[in-house]
Structure 1
Amino acid sequence: MPKLFDLMFQCGSVREGERNDEESVLEGLQPHANANLKKLEIYGFKGKRFPEWIEKMAVRDGPQASWVALENLIQITLERCSECEEIPQLEHLPNLKSLSLIGLEKVRFINSSFSKLMSLNIDCLEGLECLPDWLFYKNQNLSKLEIRQCPKLRELPDGLDTLNSLEKLVIHDCPNLKSIGNPSGREGQSQGILRELVIERCEGLMVLPRQMLESWAPTIECLELKGLSSLKNLPMVIGCLAKAAHLTNLKIVGVPIASVKSWALGRSRELVIDVSEELSMESSVGMKEPVDALLQGCCNSLTNFTLRGVQNWEWLPESIQHLTALNVLNLHNLGVEELPEWLGNLPSLRSLTLNSCNKLRHLPSCWDALEVLYIEDCGELHIDPAEWHNNSPNLTIWVDGRQIKPCSKN
Structure 2
Amino acid sequence: MSIIIDNLNEESDVIEAQNAALKNKNGIRSLRLQFRGEVRMDVMEALQPPPNLLGLVFEGYIGIEFPRWITMSFNKLKVFKVSHCSSLPPLGNLQSLEELYIWSIENMKYLGREFLGITGDGRAIAFPKLKSLKFYSCEEWTEWEDIRVEEEEDVVSIMPCLQDLVVSECPNLKALPHRLPQDAIG
TM-score bracket, shorter-length normalisation: 0.5 to 0.7
Q: State the match for 1:253 in structure 2.
A: none
The share of aligned pairs that are identical, in percent, is: 26
Task: Give runs of aligned pairs for residues 79-228 of structure 1, distance below 5 A.
Answer: 79-111=80-112, 112-113=115-116, 114-116=126-128, 117-134=130-147, 138-159=158-179, 162-164=181-183, 166=184, 169=186
Task: Give runs of aligned pairs for residues 23-34 of structure 1, distance below 5 A.
Answer: 23-32=41-50
Task: Give runs of aligned pairs for residues 311-390 of structure 1, distance below 5 A.
Answer: none
Report the secondary structure of 1:83's partner residue.
coil
Kept in 2, the 8 Å contact 1:11–1:22? The answer is no
Report the secondary structure of 1:96's partner residue.
coil
Partner amino acid, structure 2, of 1:37: L
TM-score (normalizing by structure 2):
0.66
Structure 2 counterpart of 1:49, from 62, 65, 73: 65
Kept in 2, the 8 Å contact 1:85–1:108? The answer is yes
**Cα distance, 1:53 vs. partner?**
2.5
Task: Kindly report the root-mean-square deviation, in angstroms, between the aligned alpha carbons of the 2 structures.
Answer: 2.4
Report the secondary structure of 2:93's partner residue.
coil
Report the secondary structure of 1:103's partner residue.
strand
Report the secondary structure of 2:87's partner residue.
coil
**Cα distance, 1:105 vs. partner?**
1.4
Change (3 A) 1:159 1:93: closer
Report the secondary structure of 2:69's partner residue.
helix
Partner amino acid, structure 2, of 1:128: W
Q: Which has the larger radius of gyration?
A: 1
Q: Which has the higher contact order (CA 8 A, sep 6+)?
A: 2
Distance in 1 of aligned mates of 2:64 and 2:100:
20
**Cα distance, 1:4 vs. partner?**
2.1
Kept in 1, the 8 Å contact 2:106–2:139? The answer is yes
Report the secondary structure of 2:170's partner residue.
coil
Distance in 2 of aligned mates of 1:103 and 1:42:
12
Change (3 A) 1:159 1:92: closer
Kept in 2, the 8 Å contact 1:106–1:127? The answer is yes
Q: State the match for 1:11 in structure 2.
A: 35
Distance in 2 of aligned mates of 1:28 and 1:128:
30
Give runs of ≥4 in structure 1 deviating > 6 Å: none
1:77 aligns with 2:97: no
Structure 1: runs of 5 or more not aligned: 15-19, 58-69, 170-410
Structure with bigger strand share is: 2
Partner amino acid, structure 2, of 1:5: R
Kept in 2, the 8 Å contact 1:130–1:153? The answer is yes
TM-score (normalizing by structure 1):
0.32
Structure 2: runs of 5 or more not aligned: 1-24, 117-125, 148-154
Distance in 1 of aligned mates of 2:146 and 2:39:
38
Kept in 1, the 8 Å contact 2:81–2:105? The answer is yes
**Cα distance, 1:106 vs. partner?**
1.0
Deviation sequence 1:35-70 (CA, Å, 0-9, x none): 31111110001111222323xx2xxxxxxxxxxxx2
Distance in 1 of aligned mates of 2:176 and 2:49:
36
Deviation sequence 1:287-332 (CA, Å, 0-9, x none): xxxxxxxxxxxxxxxxxxxxxxxxxxxxxxxxxxxxxxxxxxxxxx
Change (3 A) 1:156 1:21: closer
Report the secondary structure of 1:47's partner residue.
coil
Partner amino acid, structure 1, of 2:144: L
Change (3 A) 1:21 1:82: closer
**Cα distance, 1:158 vs. partner?**
2.1
Change (3 A) 1:43 1:22: farther
Deviation sequence 1:174-225 (CA, Å, 0-9, x none): xxxxxxxxxxxxxxxxxxxxxxxxxxxxxxxxxxxxxxxxxxxxxxxxxxxx
**Cα distance, 1:96 vs. partner?**
0.8
